[in-house]
């Protein structure tokens, strides 16, 4: 499968290298394992591209769709949603009396600001002074915010470099479409502000990153760094918490617990990264002083399920249990329309378990009274 090509100072990794420029040279030569999530994302992009081109009559439906190894009904629904969203955007632009130019999977070159920098924009809509950039995200892990998102800003810059002088663009609208998180996030910026950022912030940092200079700085961007496990700066940053002196009085103060909570997720992530790395190396034969590799716990299982069922049936017992299908499986069985028709009013969403998060999190504050009320309602 063809995975999208990326520049070294790529738009998708810009959040990391803008915060930690020397991470680029430190990662040089470190191999990058392509995850299953990345392969699934590539397939989803291919499907989105194909469907959008069909919808815009740029190719006909008989056009050969590349084989999608990770195809699923969910992916199909996501791609349909994406196409509907883009078509709606195009209609909105037309309503304003503008005749838009639509570009799909457009290579965007921002090398005037970042050495050899380029990326690929999923969809660009250009009409009368405005540029819309829509980026499809298939991931469901991290919710991506378009607000001052450097990846989107680099795409926008590449698009302005390419089309700015032809279409006199003075405003850019950048949208992240992330269906598996029900997230549509949009950020607007004037092209003059974008160029100001490009000249004053981007260009100098990209220069440092290119020559392997600048300061190491650890933060949540480390999770995307190829040397995140062995990086000393990240280790130091996380060990700083362990070195905090919580001596007097014997019990921790609220303010100290708050301080720990601020950092604890990153510390746990770092510790797990180090443990994963050490285990993978040990499996490859590396000996860590004071440690050894042993077999983990395992559960009993049938070696041949068919044979087991047959033996039990022959002995006069029923080896099977009858279970209601889960919601996803049931929807697959019935199809979306029948599912809604038959089960309308029978699907509920109980309140999730309370979770402590940073105040900046976008979710509304947990309301215990509302949760109690909903639980009692369900019990009645």
Residues near ligand SF4 (CB under 6 A): 16, 20, 23, 26, 216-218, 221-222, 225, 227-228, 231, 233-234
Least distance to ligand SF4 from the beta carbon of 280, Å? 17
> Is the CB of 152 or the CB of 225 nearer to ligand SF4?
225
Which residues have C-beta within 8 Å of that of residue 207, sequence separation ≥ 6? 115
Q: How far is the CB of 40 from ligand SF4 (least distance, A)?
A: 25
Q: Choose between 243 and 292: whose C-beta lies nearer to ligand SF4.
A: 243
Beta strands in the chain (DSSP E): 101-109, 118-127, 130-136, 171-178, 183-190
CB-nearer residue toward ligand SF4: 71 or 216? 216
Chain centroid to CA 254: 34
Q: Is 139 exposed, middle or buried (0-12, 13-18, 19+ CB in 10 A)?
A: middle
Instruction: Please report how close the Cβ of residue 317 comes to ligand SF4 at its closest, in angstroms.
Output: 57
Q: Specify whether the CB–CB gap between 222 and 202 falls below 8 A.
A: no
CB of 121 vs ligand SF4, minimal distance in Å: 25
Q: Least distance to ligand SF4 from the beta carbon of 235, Å?
A: 9
- Give the residue with the Cβ less far from ligand SF4, 51 or 234: 234
* 190 beta partners: 171
Q: CB 207 → ligand SF4: shortest distance, Å?
A: 17
Distance CA 20, CA 27 (A): 12
How far apart are the C-alpha atoms of 277 and 292, rounded to whole Å? 14
CB nearer to ligand SF4: give 15 or 366. 15
| CB-based burial, 40-70: b 16+ in 10 Å, e otherwise | bbbbbbbbbbbbbbbeeeeeeeeeeeeebeb
321's tokens: 């249990």
Nearer CB in complex with ligand SF4: 143/223: 223
């Amino acid at each position: 499968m063809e995975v999208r090509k990326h520049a070294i100072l790529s738009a998708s990794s810009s959040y990391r290298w803008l915060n930690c420029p020397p991470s680029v040279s430190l990662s040089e030569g470190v191999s990058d394992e392509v995850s299953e999530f990345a392969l699934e994302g590539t397939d989803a992009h291919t499907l989105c591209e194909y469907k959008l081109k069909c919808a815009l009559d740029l190719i006909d439906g008989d056009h050969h769709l590349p084989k999608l190894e990770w195809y699923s009904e969910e992916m199909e629904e996501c791609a349909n949603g994406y196409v509907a969203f883009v078509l709606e955007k195009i209609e909105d632009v037309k309503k304003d009396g503008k005749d838009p130019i639509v570009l799909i999977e457009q290579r965007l070159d921002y090398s005037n600001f970042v050495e050899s920098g380029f990326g690929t924009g999923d969809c660009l809509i250009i009409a009368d002074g405005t540029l819309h950039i829509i980026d499809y995200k298939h991931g469901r892990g991290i919710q991506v915010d378009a607000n001052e998102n450097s990846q989107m800003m680099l795409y926008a810059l590449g698009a302005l470099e390419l089309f700015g002088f032809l279409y006199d663009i003075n405003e850019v609208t950048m949208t992240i479409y992330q269906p598996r998180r029900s997230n549509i996030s949009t950020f607007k910026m004037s092209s003059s502000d974008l160029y100001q950022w490009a000249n004053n912030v981007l260009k100098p940092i990209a220069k440092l990153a290119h020559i392997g200079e600048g300061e190491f700085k650890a933060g949540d961007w480390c999770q995307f760094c190829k040397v995140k496990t062995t990086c000393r700066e990240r280790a130091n940053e996380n060990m700083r918490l362990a070195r905090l002196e919580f001596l007097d009085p014997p019990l921790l103060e609220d303010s100290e617990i708050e301080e720990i909570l601020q950092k604890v997720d990153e510390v746990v992530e770092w510790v797990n990264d180090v443990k994963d790395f050490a285990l993978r190396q040990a499996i490859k034969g590396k000996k860590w002083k004071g440690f050894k590799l042993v077999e983990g716990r395992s559960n009993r299982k049938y070696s041949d399920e068919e044979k087991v069922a047959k033996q039990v049936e022959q002995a006069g017992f029923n080896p099977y249990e009858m279970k209601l299908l889960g919601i996803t499986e049931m929807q697959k069985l019935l199809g979306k329309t029948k599912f809604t028709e038959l089960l309308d009013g029978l699907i509920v969403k109980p309140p999730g378990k309370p979770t402590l998060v940073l105040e900046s999190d976008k979710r509304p504050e947990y309301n215990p009274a509302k949760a109690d009320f909903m639980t009692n309602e369900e019990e009645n």
